[in-house]
Structure 1
Amino acid sequence: MQPSVEADSDTITRGIDEKLTQISPSPSECCIFRVHKQLRGVNEKAYEPETIAIGPYHRSKHSLQMMEEHKLRYLKLLLKRKGESSADRYVAAIKSREQEARRCYAEPISLNANEMIEMMVLDGCFIIELMQKFGMADLRDENDSIFQMDWIVRRLQRDLMLFENQLPFFILRELFDKIEGPNHHNRLIYLALCFFRDLLPGPGYREHVDGNSHFEIRHLLGLIHNNWLPSFAGIVPNGDGSNKKGNWRFIPNTIELQEAGVKLVKIEGASLFDIKFEYGVMKIPSLTIEDRTESFLRNLIAYEQYCPDNQLTYITDYVGFMDCLIDSPKDVEILSRRGIIDNWLGNNEVVSTIFSKISDARIGLPAISSMLILSTG
């Protein structure tokens, strides 16, 4: 039997206090997460950057180091354009927000304060300059390799929409205040919305900010999610003034719908999510499928899963609906002939597999794989 040793309260207290300093922020503070294994396991590459690391999660990867020099080059050109010889103004602006930014990340960050601030200044200034140069060709250097090859811009658009590859939006606002002057945040938002427009696979995207709906912008992915909206035409007011959706309907696949006499037609001018069923006709806006679409949709779904205060899960619902329609390459072929799917991949089987696997990954959300709320007009 071990002899009794009197407990040392001071040692215990110091041990607890040290552990408390190492614990991750509470979930309510976090807005940038690592995607959990069950979700990313279906297609891990969809959540991984191919070209650029933004934020702390992927910055150490060897394959992404090439863009670190571009970040420095863009900051150097920015300082030259502004007639500045030092980045001290940008560092001072971010230094005051370093702890707040650190709390936005759900995973512990190994960077010390100096490394964290340097990373945010370089990443943030690069993103702002990239979006400015995208919209204003006269700001580009004639030897800027990013804009000499379209594929690089396309990859950057993809990587900047990854859930794990984000900066807190208030960091971008702080830096934009120093670059363009204070209170031009709507201009920053407009630049971002224009930059990512090419990535959107369907209609409903707005390139303006509704002054009457100032939602909290957590990061670029959240901004794009909240500006690519359904019209909610299928939601009608209750007698108590609240809103409710239409009736649940079981949705067969495309072949079965056709065999039942249902017509599927493409509609123009509606949001991608405004799907209507009227008098035996299912009206569906056109969806473009290209090599970045799966990654984009997966990361939007991840955003919807990890943000419990965000009640809008229309991306998840839409993917579930498309999975209902698509059970086989033959379904994709029919939808393509109808103009409902614009298949840039050229392979119907690949498209069929994409929706099957995305739908399988919708873990932790209500199962809607065979149901959809339809507007009956």
Structure 2
Amino acid sequence: MSYSSDEFVKILVIDGCFIIELFRKEANQVPREDNDPIFSMSCLQQFLDHDLILLENQVPWVVLERLFNKTKEEHDMPLIELAIEFFISAFSFTEPPPMNQTMIKDIKHIPDLIRKWMVSSTEQVEESPGLVSFRGEKGWQPMPCATSLVEAGIKFRRVESKSILDIKFNDGVLEIPPLLIQDTTETVFRNIISFEQCYPNCEDRFTSYAILMDNLINTAKDADILGKNEILDNWLNPQDAVQLFKNLHHNTCYNEYYYQSLSRDVSRYCQRRWPRWRAALVRNYFNTPWALFSTSAAVMILILTLLQTVYSMKR
């Protein structure tokens, strides 16, 4: 469908005003009507979350800013904070972490704002992210799945961070910020990753995060492990969470993998003698209750036999 210039401008103005008013009402900057369907019907906000994050639906940020500046009052929050306040429900934050607005520049649209917010809030950035070839093979070091890491003695710890991208490994402990998985999670990640894939010179930060989580979550058991450690707040079926991360980076290309040194450190830890032996022991003898019972019984028989032998020798 084609529009004239005037029609196109009219669409931008109407959509932009609607978005700004929606953000203001969500942040209680302006009063809500009692019968406002957006806030009185539970399904509508979820639909809006989905539609507002789609790349094909974006109103340029510069348009939103100009409309906001023409209508703002002295007590109004900045537009960036209003937008973050609206989309905070897509993550596991109870309130928006402090942001450095001086680092969030040249915003293209809402998905770009969310991406810049997360990247700028990251505490630790790899100085030399792992370079990969066009097919993602050069220097590639995949992270073992959660089940294998537990077998090797690695612990998972939930950490509160300003960004979900802040994943660290310290002395056998993998520290991961919590992530909420709900119906809109795939839409948020998929559109931000699509933006990283299509925009020139855009760092593959969310693409790298999706790859890492896909490595960690191979099966529903892996998702359960992260859930029990309060890292995944999963509102979906565990198998749906597995498929979510498997599909997020399907057919993506990336030049830099931002968790290369982290994956390498974890893999090196797993290859040390004791973690390797422990993983083999858990996998071969303690992987089921019956295997645990039979192994424990065999150890008890061995100990009793040894004690009987020592007692007989002393007599």
TM-score in same-fold range (> 0.5): yes
RMSD value, Cα: 3.0
Q: TM-score, normalised by structure 2?
A: 0.72
1:196 aligned residue: 87
2:4 aligned residue: 112
* Residue 145 in structure 1 maps to residue 34 in structure 2: no
The CA deviation at 1:366 is 3.9
2-structure distance, mates of 1:207, 1:267: 16
Percent of aligned positions that are identical: 35
The residue identity in structure 1 corresponding to 2:211 is G
2-structure distance, mates of 1:204, 1:276: 23
The CA deviation at 1:112 is 0.9
- The answer as to whether partners of 2:210 and 2:248 remain within 8 angstroms in 1 is yes
1:244 aligned residue: 128
1:320 aligned residue: 211
| C-alpha spacing 1:228/1:220, structure 2 compared with 1 (3 Å) | same
1:272 aligned residue: 164
2-structure distance, mates of 1:191, 1:141: 19
- The answer as to whether partners of 2:104 and 2:113 remain within 8 angstroms in 1 is no
1-structure distance, mates of 2:104, 2:98: 15
The CA deviation at 1:206 is 3.9
Q: TM-score, normalised by structure 1?
A: 0.61
Number of aligned residue pairs: 256
1-structure distance, mates of 2:208, 2:222: 19
2-structure distance, mates of 1:260, 1:232: 28
1:128 aligned residue: 20
1:351 aligned residue: 241
Q: Deviations over 1:288-307 (max 9, x none)?
A: 11111111111110111111
Three-state SS of the structure 1 residue aligned to 2:78 is helix
Structure 1: runs of 5 or more not aligned: 1-108, 236-242
Aligned partner of 1:364 among 234, 244, 253: 253
1:165 aligned residue: 57
| C-alpha spacing 1:234/1:216, structure 2 compared with 1 (3 Å) | closer
2-structure distance, mates of 1:250, 1:189: 36
The residue identity in structure 2 corresponding to 1:329 is A
Bigger Cα Rg: 2
Correspondence 1:1-377 to 2 at 5 A: 110-136=2-28, 138-180=30-72, 187-201=78-92, 206=97, 208-211=99-102, 213-229=103-119, 230-235=121-126, 243-245=127-129, 249-269=141-161, 271-311=163-203, 313-345=204-236, 347-361=237-251, 363-366=252-255, 372-374=260-262
2-structure distance, mates of 1:260, 1:303: 37
The residue identity in structure 1 corresponding to 2:246 is S
2-structure distance, mates of 1:156, 1:319: 24
2-structure distance, mates of 1:185, 1:156: 22
The CA deviation at 1:208 is 4.3
Three-state SS of the structure 2 residue aligned to 1:282 is strand
| C-alpha spacing 1:321/1:203, structure 2 compared with 1 (3 Å) | farther
- The answer as to whether partners of 1:162 and 1:299 remain within 8 angstroms in 2 is yes
- The answer as to whether partners of 2:145 and 2:216 remain within 8 angstroms in 1 is yes
